[in-house]
Amino acid sequence: MLKQKFPHVLSGWKVCRRHIFNISLAAFALILSFVAIPAGFSASNCYAQQGGSVEVQTLTLENCVEMALKNNADISGSVYDELSKKSGVKEAEALKSPVINFDGGYQHHIDAQRVLPATANNQAGVFSNDLWRTDIIFKMPLYTGGKIENEIDLARKLLESASLKSQWTRQEIIFKVSTVFYGIIVQNKVIEAFSFSLSTMKEHYARVKELIEAGKASSLDLLKMEVRIADIEQNLENASNFFRLQKVNLLNFMGVDTSESNFNFSKELIFPDTNQTELNYDIDSLVKEALGARKDYAAAKMALEAQRSKISVIKSGKKPVVSLVGIYGARGGAGGDTGKIGYAGVAVTAPIHEGGMIKAKTETERMALKSLEEKMRKFELQIKQEVKSAVLDILSSTKRVQATQKSIDQAKEALRIETEKYNFGKSSITDVLDAQAALLNAETNYYKMLAEFLTATQRLKYAKGGIQ
């Protein structure tokens, strides 16, 4: 009947429903596109899918650190730990507040019971086998022997410790990202050194073939060069594989779940001038600075204080608890008779004998405190060792970088001389290959020493309290 009377209305409703469905679908797709963008890094800054191919993006150190701070699972976990401890503080503070509960029930008795308690001698009462009750129960602590105060103090110290740990976790991730990033840049330089050496060797190889055709060189020279080219190609592949592994490691710290081939990392890194490196370090001042600035050390100290508060909480269990209590409720029976009851007063609960449980718990936590104190002593020694080790590595790597930097120029000149001598028939191919190997070794050693220097400088910053 509706179709006969209102055909135009129904057809219009169908069209309207189709439009609503299309709009909803478009809105869902738009929302999904925003959700699909990785947190803290837009698709345009990360990588994009275009025409079935992945666009490779180049990231700077700042990009990598920013992504890691937003996506790293360790940082997220530390934030949730801190939030958990915040809830613990609220839970402890709630112990001071009054508690109001509702209590009710129904009971069936074999023998009839009074519906309401007697309020006078020889007072007549109403009895019933079926009773019900509803009560509002009030309780507020007046004195707990310091237990609630110690519980709040413990919760706040645990929160402070968790907050400091969260801050240090961020510094730790920045250090790891920076170290791996520098390693990637330096490893790329090593790959470039191998690639350049390989191309140079292939040019020599072509030149030797020409000399053999002209009768000015032996085929043995060609075989020696083929062996050397194969050796360089193998080293180049090993260096490239290690480069890819470093990229995977960095992406893991960044919290990015994608292929390492989707990213490149900026090669524009200004290498420090080791000749300007400070070589006079006051170890004692650096250690003092580290102990005052490191968040992980502060977190450990706060955890130690929290353990002392925990012992105080347990000891307060020996003291009485005084509470203000009150009840207001109703009673009734099967016959429909009802009445109200209520009272207010003070309740005292005191432990008389608990089988030595409080003493045993106190001793357990006291031993845990001793263990933490020893760990703190070990931690201080570890921080001193980290600072001293970083300083020694800076001093050592600085000298080695300076030495290898000079050897590169010497190796280049030696290779030039040996190549010219070979072209004029005054030197063997072995001398040329040795000079080429010496140059490659000097270049790779230089970049490895440079990586150690950069890592050592980052480690010193990290050991002193973190990297800004």
The CATH number that applies at residue 186 is 1.20.1600.10
Query: Do 17 and 67 lie in a common domain?
Result: no
Query: Do 13 and 106 lie in a common domain?
Result: no
Which residue is it, tokens 């994608």?
258
Residue 223, φ and ψ in degrees, nearest 5? -65, -40
d(CA 93, CA 151): 8
Q: Is residue 43 part of a domain?
A: no
d(CA 190, CA 182): 12
d(CA 463, CA 467): 9
pLDDT at 445: 84
Residues in the chain with pLDDT values less than 50: 1-52
pLDDT at 171: 92
d(CA 318, CA 354): 9
Q: What is the pLDDT of residues 193-232, one digit of tens each?
A: 888 888 888 888 888 888 788 777 778 888 888 888 999 8
Q: Is residue 44 part of a domain?
A: no
d(CA 100, CA 268): 66
Q: Is residue 49 part of a domain?
A: no
pLDDT at 50: 41
Report residue 265 as tokens.
Answer: 């990392």
Query: Do 74 and 12 lie in a common domain?
Result: no
Neighbours of 405 (CB within 10 A): 15
Query: Do 397 and 435 lie in a common domain?
Result: yes
pLDDT at 21: 38
- E-assigned strand segments in 189-337: 263-265, 321-333
Q: What is the pLDDT of residues 122-167, one digit of tens each?
A: 888 888 889 999 999 999 999 999 999 999 999 999 999 999 999 9
Query: Do 249 and 322 lie in a common domain?
Result: yes
Q: Of 207, 134, 152, 182, which Cα lies nearest the Cα of 452?
A: 182
d(CA 185, CA 448): 11
Query: Do 22 and 129 lie in a common domain?
Result: no
pTM beyond 0.85: the answer is no
pLDDT at 43: 33
Query: Do 106 and 22 lie in a common domain?
Result: no
pLDDT at 420: 83
d(CA 440, CA 196): 9
Q: Is residue 319 part of a domain?
A: yes
Domain count, the chain: 2
pLDDT at 401: 84
Domain residues for 26? 1-37
Which residue is it, tokens 């072509």?
206
Query: Do 107 and 3 lie in a common domain?
Result: no
Q: Is residue 47 part of a domain?
A: no
pLDDT at 278: 59
pLDDT at 395: 87
